[in-house]
Structure 1
Amino acid sequence: MPSARPQHKLYPIEPNAIELMFGGLAASYALMTPTKDLNVYDHTTKYLMMSSLVMFMYYAILVAVDIYCFKVPEGRTRGKSIGYRATRVLSMTFGTLVGAVVLAGIYVLFGAPLQTQQNETLAAALDVSLLAITPAVVTLKSDLSAWRRALLSFEEKSLPEQWAAGFFWSSMVTSWAAAYFVPMDWDRPWQRWPIPIVGGAYVGYLIGLLYVLVRCFVLPIARADFKATEEEKLKIIREMAARDQQKKKE
């Protein structure tokens, strides 16, 4: 029997273009120049921590104002307390740290230095967790079935699940592929642990942005039912505006 189509709310329906744009800018800045005088070869741990801070602040701001990943109807964030917003950021932080610990353990199991460079390994795990796991933490939250469907199955996915899977797999696959440069005897400075895996993860994250753009913007627009959905959304917005006007008159 075929699996049921994952359901998601009519509104919001598409990813936030602002998030895509600033996601690309944040990732590019975090990868290239966290600070002018910080060299990834001479200060690897500090560089990676600064890079992680850039990405964390990017996520934290969008999560706190409730615009990460999907557009929200006008007025949805009204009445949300500072405590509510802080709780969302703390949940995101906790999920990211758990992902970093898991990744650090995987790196050690696959040959990362255990006696030395522990700080570099932890910093790299945090950076990669922010790129690959945090999008899933924010969009899928604690829904285990959504995590399984998004990351571990070929079942049809809702838009949030497609979003999470795009960033996770693009970042993880390119990071894994880049790890093959570490043991090669080319003696290049960029081959030092853990520079290749972090650089690969950032490249994968940017590829994930492109995937999300195509899968969640271009293809839905090409669908025949997209126009009808947009009309339904416009109707909702007009009804909300009419209610606001009525309240002002009262």
Structure 2
Amino acid sequence: MQRPLILVTNDDSIVSPGIRTLISIMKEIGDIIVVAPDSPQSAMGHAITINNTLHLDKVNLDPEIEHEYSCSGTPVDCVKMAVHEILKRKPDLCVSGINHGSNSSINVIYSGTMSAAVEAGIEGIPAIGFSHLDYSWETDFSPIKRFVKKIALEVLKNGLPEGVVLNVNFPKSEKGEIKGIKVCRQAKAMWIEEFDKRTNPQGKDYYWLTGEFVNQDKGQDTDEFALENGFVSIVPVQFDLTAHHAIQTINNWDL
């Protein structure tokens, strides 16, 4: 039986431990194509490069992978380049990550990791974004490997509903214990943001964005609840942003 073709990407750069771990897992499942940013692109959302040139360089970070490329653009650029310039056929799966840090709740909006997965979904490719609630470059991914593989295999086996990709987050556990997997909804949470204003030696003001993440959702069916209680969260994400429930309300206006 032909092995599935899997596109691997991320937003933390092609050399990050997260993507190297994801590549090692996907090699057990199928044939791999890697296209990832040449430098960190966190919080880029669905940005694309339109005012600058893009560069695509073949690299050899893993001698077992024939097609591995670093891209000067955003995570979404990487997927677009893979689909339209490199791949000879549509891949059977796109996986993005493993991100160093959470992409649960409202973070999905800002996430380069998830935007890469969404772009693959727009192209009609089943896609998953994987994230770990640990920002450390030295984080231990070994406790989550079997879950990554299991979820990827299930998507390959069953496919995904049209217009849907998966946002998968892994809890941070001091003992590496994960209780299981929960399919959830996105929690209603937000960042309470502040700007730290400073002045450089030349007298010019500059700012650092800071903030506190506040979960306002007390539901037990959310990604935040699952992660806080030691479970892997899976949120099906749709990229049709139409608020269908609001159409009739607005049609009742005097327009």
TM-score range, shorter chain: under 0.3
Larger Rg: 1
TM-score normalised according to structure 2 size: 0.23
Specify which structure has the higher proportion of helix: 1
Specify which structure has the higher proportion of strand: 2
